Each structure stands twice: as C-alpha cells, then as structure tokens.
Amino acid sequence: MHQVIAPGLYWLAGLMAYTMVYHFAVGMHPPRDRVHILFASVCLLMMPFSITMIPVLKADDAATYIHALKLNLAAALVLFAVFHWFIALYTHVRPLPFLIAWTLFFGVLFVANLAGPYSLQYEQFDGLKNVRLPWGELITRGRGQNGPWFYAGIIAVAVVFAHALVAMGLKYRRQHLNTDLAILIAIVLFLLSVIEGIMVRLGIFHGVILGPFGLIALVLAMSASLGYGTQQRLRTSEKHFRSLFENSPTGMFAIDPANGRILQANPVALSMTGYDGEEIQEKTLADLACPEDMQELKHRYEQMAAGQFDRMNYERRYCTKRGGRFVADHYVSSLKDEHGKAVRFIASITDITERKHTEEALRQSEEKFRTLFENSPLGIFRATVGGRFLEVNPAMARIHGYPSPEAMVREVDDIGEQLYVNPGNRKKMIAKLQDNSADIIQFLNHQRRRDGSEFLAHITLTSVRDAEGEAVFFDGIVEDVTAQKRTEEEREELRSQLI
C-alpha cells in the first residue's frame, strides 16, 4: 500500500516554508513591500493548515480526530482571513468596512470552532470510518451531523472567493497582465479544490480533501507573479535611473568605492571636463581636480569609502582636459547593498563659475557702496514708512548731533516729531512718494538736532517698493546747508547795499 497523503502534505508544508522565507526576505528589503510580507504570512498559515490535515486523515480514535480537526479548521479560518487582506492589498480593491467586518466574522467562527465540543464542522459526532483510496491507502473520515456554524463558515469562505475573483478580474481588466490572468485561473482552481473538500466533509462523496493541494497552484502562480512584478519594478527603476543619469542637466559620475575610479560619466560631465567616455574611465574625480584641491578631494573619498559618512557636499575647482578651470558645486551620495556596504558612489557636479563671478562682482559692489556709505560727508539713511531709521551712516549721526549711528537708530523712534521742526513736512513728502506723484523729492527743511538746536537741511528722498508697487521704506540724503544759506543771504545783503 502506497502512502501518498502524508508525504504530499509534508512536501507542501516544505514548499510553503521556502516560499514564506523568500517573500519575507524580499518584502523586508528596503523599501519594505507590504504585499510580499502579507503573502509570506499567507504561506506561513498554509503550513499548519497542511500539517494538521495529516492527523485528521490518519486519526486512530475520535478524540485525536476532533482535536486535529479543530486545529485544522482554525488554521483554515485564519488563512482565509489573511488571504482576504492580501487580495485587497494586491489588487488595490479595498472596501475597508467590509474587510474589517468579515475579519471579525472569521474571528467569531474561530472562537466557535475552538469552543464547540466537535469543532466548527459537527453539531453531533457519531464516530470514525475508514475510507480506502483508489491506490489502496486508508484515510479516516468522521461521521456526524453538520451544524449551522459549519454552513456559516462555508458562506464566509465563499464571500472571500467572490471578493478575490471580482478584485482580480478588475485588476486584470485595468492592466491586462498575463500574471494577473494566471493568478485568476489559480484562484478558480483553488476554489474548485475547496468546493471538493467541502463536499467531502459534507459526505456527498468519499475521497481525499484536495484543498491543501489546490493551494499549490495558487502559491506557485502568486509567487511567480510577485517575483515577476518585483523584477519588472527593478528593471523600471533601473531604466528611470539610467534616464535621469544620462539626461541630468548636471554632470553625473558613477564611481567605484574600492579605488575611486570613474565607471561612467553622463554627457554633461564629459562636456564639462573635455574628456571622452573611455578617457574619463581611466581617472578618478581627484585626478580631475585642480592641483590645489586634489589631495583634499582624494582624502574625502577615502573617508567616505571607509564609511565615515554617507554623503558629502562642497565646492571644488576642477581642471579640464585643455587646461581650463571651473568651480563646481560637488554632491556625492553612496548606493548600498542589503548589507549596508557601499557599491557605488554617485557624484553630481554643477558648474557655478559664472555664479561665483557674479557673487564676487556683487561683493565688490557692496564693498564700494559700504565704503561710500561710511565715508560720505553727506548724511545717508534708510527709514520705514512709520518713521523709524533702519540704518544711518556716521555723517547722518554727526549732522544731527548723535554720538554714533547706532545711538541715532536706537533713540529716534519718530523721525517727523523728533527731527523735523515742522512734523507735517515729512508727512507731505511721504504722501507724494506713496501716491506715485514723484519718484524723487528734493526739498529744504528745518531740522532739529539731538540737543534741540535747529539747522537748515537739503533733503533728497526716494522710495523702495515691493513687488506690488507699495513703498516699504525710504532712502534719503541729508546735507546741512545752514552755512551755505547764511553765506548766500550775506552776499545778497551786500549786493543790495552796493546798489
């Protein structure tokens, strides 16, 4: 007599163990894939479902049979509950309230199975009987009356299959992938094996329950589909990376961490350095650096290869093949394998020579302005619309009798009231600038010094506006013309006397 059932079920459990380990490892690899992890959970639950089927079919007494049957049905209930969620996650058909409600229903069936005297299947148990299979092997089959909980379990499993078939059908309709069609066919085969198992349990006909073996088609189809999908995503990711690398507007280099050698450079990098693809593969990025930066750049890459840091960003000078120079913003990151070992450095360099020249010209211009601002004999200031100084130069403070620019900015909180003999003059001039009736205003005004003395000033005002055209502050120049005005008056008086 050939023993087929037990070895077959053990082989099935081994297949589930291998599949579980494989998909769990794939799912846990960063970035984590919940579909693979959940499928690994399905495979994990298939193992006790298969193994507990052996004592059900080979029991010698009723107590052993009922105990094994409870464990087998418990594993089946958990398996179908998790399988329900896996299908929802895989197909993106996720009616959440329905999924939660049906999971709770499976929980109720799980408790009823373990709490009942004869498991979920039997309301009344009449004993065991032996059934001889066509190849001569004997298996055990229970006899008894099926209860309402067993039919509730059939309904629960039927709903799971209905959801799986509808969800997979919708997914295949959206994407028309052969792998989805294979899974759909495998679910149908699994459904047929489950129907056969239910009919055997109901005593409609005698035979071995094929449910565990129907899982083989489902597991193989799903495992192949998930593996193929992972490979497709990997190829797509590599294609996208290649496209980004080749078409990046910045110079891109792929570098070997072991020796710093350039493995590949994109067209922009070749254009920046003047080398062709073969020439640049004989060099390191340190070789491309100007002599004054070469040793430091080499040292930084050695530190990165030693794992002291994962990325670096700095500015360096590089020399082209023809001897030219350019300044580049240099960013490097490391690509690591699953063990955390760097397998590639990806470097990006952006030519910022023109920007550096612009920044230097701006710096020089600002220095010239600052020199003019600090050393001008005329008072220069910037003030808010509300009447506070933002900045004044030394001449401005000196003209108004303040010991320093900082003291003037600190002490004057209302320019019109504190510095204008007639505060209304400032309001009139500010109004003209705000209503765009003038861009620049020049006027004579009687000013007040810190000690209260007065002098005549020639003031020039202009407004600085924001993007909406609103004046945000005012720039001005103040010149003390008291002596000049007195001289003019004395000259006029002398002229009138001579006449």
Mind giving me the DSSP string for 270-334?
HHHH---HHHHTT-BHHHHB-HHHHHHHHHHHHHHHTTS-SEEEEEEEEE-TTS-EEEEEEEEEE
At 102-145, the pLDDT tens digits run 999 999 999 999 999 999 888 899 888 887 877 777 888 888 88
Amino acid at 92: H
pLDDT at 196 over 80: no
Token pair for 175? 């994407």
Return the pLDDT at 1. Answer: 47
pLDDT at 234 over 80: no
- 488/56: higher pLDDT: 56
- Using DSSP's 3-state secondary structure scheme, residue 402 falls into coil
What mean pLDDT do residues 271-283 have? 87
Q: Which residue in this structure is represented by tokens 């093949």?
A: 321
- Residue 429: name the closest of 411, 415, 413 by CA: 415
Dihedral sign for Cα 411, 417, 423, 428, please.
Answer: positive
- 26/272: higher pLDDT: 272
Backbone angles phi, psi at 324, to 5 degrees: -70, 170
- Could you give the CA distance from residue 219 to residue 211 in angstroms, rounded to a whole number? 12
Token pair for 156? 């629960």
Return the pLDDT at 381. Answer: 94
At 5-44, the pLDDT tens digits run 788 888 888 888 888 888 888 788 766 778 888 888 888 8
Dihedral sign for Cα 57, 62, 64, 65, please.
Answer: positive
Q: What is the DSSP letter of 261?
A: B
pTM: 0.54
Average pLDDT, the chain: 84
Return the pLDDT at 207. Answer: 60
Q: What is the DSSP letter of 345?
A: E
At 431-445, the pLDDT tens digits run 888 877 667 889 999
At 280-300, the pLDDT tens digits run 888 887 888 888 888 887 888
- Could you give the CA distance from residue 292 to residue 449 in angstroms, rounded to a whole number? 57
Strand partners, 144: 125
Return the pLDDT at 191. Answer: 80
